[in-house]
Structure 1
Amino acid sequence: MPLLATPFPHVMNSLNGPTAPPVTYLIFYSNIVNGQMWCPDCRAVESTVKDAFDAPDKPKGIIYWVGDRPEWRTPQNKARVDWNVQSVPTILRIESGKETARIVGDDILDKKLFNAFLS
């Protein structure tokens, strides 16, 4: 399934709908500022994430942009409030509308940990 970089509200609503895939991954990234993500850790994992999700035979991945740096740093940031995301990048595994696992930061670059997270 392609990596969805601009999820519309209906895509997010489908996470626990009757047509939802068995597993969906939410990928929390910093917004793009001046042509690149402002978070260096997000930039570091970008190719790994793309390889894992961006193809028809790959699991469904939805990018959730957390905002620019000042927006991200507020305690009221929607990713913090709705998903308890405290750092970016973070990837959540969603099954039947519920989080079943998460992987954060440099752990995404650890092939063994990342592959275990995806399986």
Structure 2
Amino acid sequence: MPLLANPFPQVMNSLNGPTSPDVSYLVFYSSVIDGQMWCPDCVNVESTVKAAFDGADKPKAIIYWVGDRTEWRTPKNKARVDWNVNNVPTILRIENGKETARLVENDILDKKKFQALLK
């Protein structure tokens, strides 16, 4: 499954749908401003995330863009409210519609922790 960077509402809804895979992932990234993500930690993990999720034989992952810095910092940001995400990057493991694991910031670069998230 490719890494879905522009999820439509039906893609997000598929996390709970009858045809959803047993396990999928939500990747919370800063939005792209002037050609790159404004968050340096997001840039640092991008190649690791692509290697893990971008390909037909890879697990389903959806990128959730949290917005620009101003939007991200508001307490009403949808990622904060809907998913309790307080740092970017964050990756959530979703099993049967429920979060079962999460990695935040530099933990994504920890190979052992990242492999555990993928299992």
Task: State TM-score, norm by structure 2.
Answer: 0.99
Secondary structure of 1:15's aligned partner: coil
In structure 1, the residue matched to 2:19 is 19
In structure 1, the residue matched to 2:108 is 108
Cα RMSD (Å): 0.4
Counterparts of 1:73-88 in structure 2, within 5 Å, are 73-88=73-88
> Structure 2: which 5+ runs fail to align?
none
Question: Number of residues paired by the alignment?
Answer: 119
Task: State TM-score, norm by structure 1.
Answer: 0.99
Please list the CA deviations of residues 20-58 of structure 1 after superposition, one character each: whole Å capped at 9, or x if unmatched. Answer: 001010000000001000000000000000000001111
Q: State how far apart, in whole Å, the 2-side matches of 1:18 and 1:9 are.
A: 16
> Structure 1: which 5+ runs fail to align?
none
The Cα shift of 1:75 comes to 0.1
Secondary structure of 2:62's aligned partner: strand
In structure 2, the residue matched to 1:52 is 52
The Cα shift of 1:107 comes to 0.5
Percentage identity across paired residues of the two chains: 76
Secondary structure of 2:15's aligned partner: helix
